[in-house]
Amino acid sequence: MSEVKTYPIINNPQYEPHIDEDTYHRMYQQSVLDPDKFWSRMAHQFVDWFEPWEEVSNVDFNKAEISWFKGGKLNVSYNCIDRHLKDKAEQTAIIWEGDNPEQQRYISYQELHDEVCRFANALKARGVKKGDRVCIYMPMIPEVGYAMLACARIGAVHSVVFGGFSPEALKTRILDSDCQVLITADAGVRGGKQVPLKANADEALSSCPNVHTVMVVKSQNADIAWNEQRDVDYNEFKKDMEAECTPEVMDAEDPLFILYTSGSTGKPKGVLHTTGGYLLYTAMTHKYVFDYQDDDIYWCTADAGWITGHSYIFYGPLANGATTLVFEGVPNYPSTSRFWEVIDKHNVSIFYTAPTAIRALMAAGDEAVTKTSRQSLRVLGSVGEPINPEAWEWYFNVVGEQRRPIVDTWWQTETGGIMISPLPGATPLKPGSASRPFFGVQPALLDVDAKELDGAANGSLVMKHSWPGQMRSIWGDHQRFYDTYFSQFPGYYFSGDGAERDADGFYWITGRMDDVLNVSGHRMGTAEIESALVLHPAVAEAAVVGYPHDIKGQGIYVFVNLMQGQQGSEELKSELVAHVAKEIGPIAKPDKLQFADDLPKTRSGKIMRRILRKVAEDDVENIGDTSTLAEPAVVAKLIREKL
């Protein structure tokens, strides 16, 4: 690994952090020496239970059977709303910031309660019962949160499908989990452009005969088709609904939601999360990873359609009684200052976003940031992909003015919540490292023979022990759950990612194991080469894949997206190749380099290397599932311009 910087722990004079370094080590030890005792204590602290559980955990990774707090009774919506009403009825629960910067709404906990109850009663009125699946296909308006919490209130299982997905992707997901009710809006709006949600839904539903009800939240005055039997105008319908609805008593292991993973690696899987462990894990990680304090204004820029939106816009923050900001728009509308302007407008103190956004805003120049104040900020977060040290430094120096810790959080749809991350006030920062495991998380690195590696090492990232937020199954296909996560390394949960552990015990995610390169017998992660490329001032973003090479086994093929105003040339190509060789070593020298205006990404902004691999391998006939691609045209262009 190239030379590494370490920043000491940043102490904020106004706040005593919940966890300091000694406390981290002490609590971590407790959490792994006697996990049941530790989690039992936390479950009392973070969650209100109607009835206590019978056993804290019962886990068998060899059978992919996992349960936490079985027999315990609770309701997630009660925990996210009702229990706060005593002290916080008037406190803002949700700040909504529209795509249009002149639009905002403030929803108090009392209003949230009333809206969620009305939505819950509306679902009941259309026959929805405990255990039924409800699909939610919505823009980022408060009603998406009401709908999720309403399902939780009556024990229905929600399946949120990102509003940017196509009718085809929506259809597949509705059918896979047999949803009979769909909640949508007339249209969404992002970056000033309308997204025809209802029209997409109509198209999807032409092949979903079991859907008997479509609740439509009209928010854009869009011109839409209407099916009298099936469609319900929610704003009219809710007028007759009571603002009280008794929360259903749920078992800790009753399903809470299904969420299809974003699809960077293949056919989407319906990840199933349950009630008690998930709620505990998201609440606790939200509090400690962001050092959430009572007067914070918290903003996670994810979409409700991703796990980050579930766990860290809604469930975790609301369980903690926080004020959470829901943003309808995009980072570059009306201008690339938007994020920072929203921070100033609402005094956001904790800000959580993704490397793809950070890299894009970095490429747009510092001025868009420095002209804003950002004085309210206290903690910065990153999630979704490895953050290149270059982007980390920019986030730290320019956005955070070296005064705000960055929490680089590694986790997955499957893990429910954050697994490896620094804690503000407790962890020194190393740009590009997700650093140390959260409480109760026991990572290990395995070599190809499934042997655990000690000390500084590089291998497959697995978990030795369960944690309450872990997924419980793949909807309708438990065998696939076992095969995907527990068969390759028996006795462990396999994340699918590779990682390196340094001498201080800090973890560095090197990327997905499928993406690992083997060049002349040397195993290399894509993240390291990409980070070296991004270090070069001409490069905005890079993606690295392997392709068959007669001599080396695998050759290194890089796709490079240049900074605004830069031109690709043969000289620049040679310069970049030499730059990588200098930064990492001659072994990492790219064999082929292609300039690309755009890289293929999932709708959540992750680079899809499996597609780039097909382009590099000249195997475009077998490109695989592209339904989750944000801009399908990007791929055709890459193929056309191929070397």
Can you give the binding site for ligand ATP, defined by CB under 6 A? 261-265, 268, 307, 383-386, 408-410, 412-413, 434, 495-497, 509, 512, 606
Closest to ligand ATP by CB, 347 or 627: 627
Is the bond preceding 334 in cis, omega lying within 30 degrees of 0? yes
Closest to ligand ATP by CB, 261 or 323: 261
Reading phi first (left if > 0) and then psi (alpha if -120 to 50, else beta), residue 450 is in left
Q: Is 153 annotated as a binding residue?
A: no
Q: Is 384 annotated as a binding residue?
A: yes
Closest to ligand ATP by CB, 198 or 310: 310
* Closest CB 514 distance from ligand ATP, rounded Å: 9
- CA gap 387, 393 in Å, rounded: 10
Q: Is 275 annotated as a binding residue?
A: no
- CA gap 626, 632 in Å, rounded: 7
Q: Is 88 annotated as a binding residue?
A: no
Closest to ligand ATP by CB, 349 or 413: 413
Q: Is 385 annotated as a binding residue?
A: yes
Q: Is 413 annotated as a binding residue?
A: yes
Closest to ligand ATP by CB, 276 or 496: 496
3-class secondary-structure state, position 265: coil
Closest to ligand ATP by CB, 74 or 509: 509
* Closest CB 144 distance from ligand ATP, rounded Å: 18
* Closest CB 418 distance from ligand ATP, rounded Å: 9
Neighbours of 265 (CB within 10 A): 20
* Closest CB 628 distance from ligand ATP, rounded Å: 8
Q: Is 564 annotated as a binding residue?
A: no
* Closest CB 613 distance from ligand ATP, rounded Å: 14
Residue with tokens 């997204």: 195
* Closest CB 232 distance from ligand ATP, rounded Å: 32
Q: Is 512 annotated as a binding residue?
A: yes
Residues paired with residue 501 on neighbouring β-strands, in sequence order: 457, 507
What 7-11 contacts at long range (C-beta under 8 Å, 24+ apart), as own/partner pairs, is: 7/396, 7/428, 7/429, 7/430, 7/431, 8/428, 9/405, 9/425, 9/426, 9/427, 9/428, 9/429, 10/403, 10/404, 10/405, 10/424, 10/425, 10/429, 11/425
Give, in order, the Cα–Cα distances in Å from 228 to each of 125, 225, 238, 577. Answer: 16, 10, 17, 62
- What is the helix (H) or strand (E) element at residue 527, kind and residue range? helix 526-535
3-class secondary-structure state, position 111: helix
Q: Is 231 annotated as a binding residue?
A: no
Angle value at C-alpha 137, between 136 and 141, nearest 5 degrees: 95
Tokens of 391: 């982007």
Closest to ligand ATP by CB, 98 or 428: 428
- CA gap 512, 460 in Å, rounded: 9
Q: Is 536 annotated as a binding residue?
A: yes
* Closest CB 508 distance from ligand ATP, rounded Å: 9
Sign of CA dihedral 451, 457, 459, 463: positive
Determine the residue type at 264: S
Tokens of 433: 């490292």
Residues near 81 by beta carbon (within 8 Å), at least 6 away in sequence: 93, 109, 112, 113, 116, 149, 318
Going by their DSSP bridges, the two strands 255-260 and 157-160 should be labelled as parallel
Closest to ligand ATP by CB, 247 or 605: 605
Going by their DSSP bridges, the two strands 493-501 and 473-474 should be labelled as unpaired
Closest to ligand ATP by CB, 329 or 496: 496
* Closest CB 510 distance from ligand ATP, rounded Å: 9
- CA gap 97, 540 in Å, rounded: 29
Q: Is 575 annotated as a binding residue?
A: no
Q: Is 408 annotated as a binding residue?
A: yes
Closest to ligand ATP by CB, 72 or 164: 164
Residues 502 and 456: beta-carbon distance below 8 Å: yes
Residues 69 and 252: beta-carbon distance below 8 Å: yes
* Closest CB 417 distance from ligand ATP, rounded Å: 12
Q: Is 404 annotated as a binding residue?
A: no
Closest to ligand ATP by CB, 533 or 576: 533
* Closest CB 430 distance from ligand ATP, rounded Å: 13
Q: Is 324 annotated as a binding residue?
A: no
* Closest CB 387 distance from ligand ATP, rounded Å: 7
Q: Which residues are part of a known binding site for Mg(2+)?
A: 534, 536, 539
- Residues within the annotated binding site? 190-193, 308, 332, 384-386, 408-413, 497, 512, 520, 523, 534, 536, 539
Q: Residues marked as binding for ATP?
A: 384-386, 408-413, 497, 512, 523
Annotated binding site for CoA: 190-193, 308, 332, 520
